[in-house]
A and B are shown apart, each in its own frame.
Chain A
Amino acid sequence: MSNPYLAAAYAFVWLTFIFYEWSLARRKVRLSRELEDLKKQAQDSPRSGPPSE
């Protein structure tokens, strides 16, 4: 791949996809943590606990 335009085009495309995949992975980790926290909070709240007699 000696042509600089060709090299730049291929580099741009693959770097863009890698960056987007990284961005998705980061957002997935953050959301998974948030969901875990929210589920935990919902479980810990008194209404979701065992019914009191």
Chain B
Amino acid sequence: MGNKTFPLTLHLLLTLVWVFVALYMIFQYAPEETTMGEVQRIFYIHVSSAWTAFLACFLVFVGSVGYLWKRAPFADDLAQASGEVGLVFCTCVLVTGPLWAKPVWGIWWTWDARLTSTFVLWLLYIAYLMLRSYVLNPGRAEVLAAVAGIIGFVDVPIVYMSIRWWRTQHPQPVIAGGEGSGLDPAMRITLLVTWGAFLCLFSYLLRQRLWLAEGRREARKLRQGLALQTSKE
């Protein structure tokens, strides 16, 4: 699991420290937003989860392309692991969003372009993981999953651009948005530190999930070897 270069325990410790720094900045350093008040602090974990879920989706795409191109088992492991960890972050986006929307918009949910495309992304993650577990033929499962991983990635630019392309209930972008958009410098640095903490957490979870994928492949090989021996006897 690459423990020799950067031990997992050290990775966990770094993640915890980073998370505590992020929490301190969210609740002590970042100023309170004037119109929404305290509830706006959901923004930091909501946006960080969303960006991390996008990254996970990109890794699924890269792993899928890599597997179809080189048939490298690691590429498939990366896609599978990123898909599962990405689903966790995407779930956080879909839960924290309505918890922020209710006190601010007065509704939990609306089927606008941003919310709907994010919900579709979440469904695509689930479909991708279900496809992996239900197709039992090992070689076929990896190829089908890789194709699904590549097709599913099409939704990511749609989610990202939806608030630029269509009029939505969801607010316009505050980072890399148009004229008049922007974020208070203290809020921006807090967001970046929080996203850093989420990336550290993502990589920590991904390493463990990768180890599971590699271990399962090793177990499958060992079982096949033993079955072959038994059949010869």
Chain A interface residues (CB < 8 Å from chain B): 1-3, 5-6, 8-10, 12-13, 16-17, 20-21, 24-25, 27-28, 31-32, 34-35, 38-39, 41-42, 45-47
Interface residues on B, range: 35 or more
Contact status of A9 and B223, CB under 8 A, knowing A17-B201, A35-B215: no
- CB-based contact A35/B219 at 8 Å: yes
- CB-based contact A13/B38 at 8 Å: no
- CB-based contact A5/B212 at 8 Å: no
Contact status of A9 and B218, CB under 8 A, knowing A16-B92, A31-B212: no
Chain B interface residues (CB < 8 Å from chain A): 27, 37-39, 41-42, 45-46, 49, 85, 88, 91-92, 95-96, 99-100, 102-103, 201, 205, 208-209, 211-212, 215-216, 218-219, 222-223, 225-226, 229, 233
Can you name 15 extra interface pairs (CB under 8 A) apart from A24-B212, A42-B226? A3-B37, A3-B38, A5-B42, A6-B99, A9-B96, A9-B100, A12-B95, A13-B96, A17-B205, A20-B85, A21-B205, A28-B208, A28-B211, A35-B218, A35-B222
How many residue pairs at the A-B interface have CB separations less than 8 Å? Answer: 83
* A10 nearest in chain B by CB position: B45
- CB-based contact A5/B100 at 8 Å: yes
22 contacts between A and B (CB under 8 A): A1-B27, A3-B37, A5-B103, A6-B39, A6-B42, A8-B99, A9-B45, A9-B95, A10-B42, A12-B96, A13-B49, A16-B92, A17-B205, A20-B88, A20-B205, A21-B208, A28-B211, A31-B215, A38-B222, A38-B223, A39-B222, A42-B225
Contact status of A24 and B209, CB under 8 A, knowing A6-B42, A12-B96, A13-B45: yes
- CB-based contact A24/B208 at 8 Å: yes
- CB-based contact A9/B219 at 8 Å: no
B38 to chain A: which residues have CB within 8 Å?
Answer: 1-3, 6
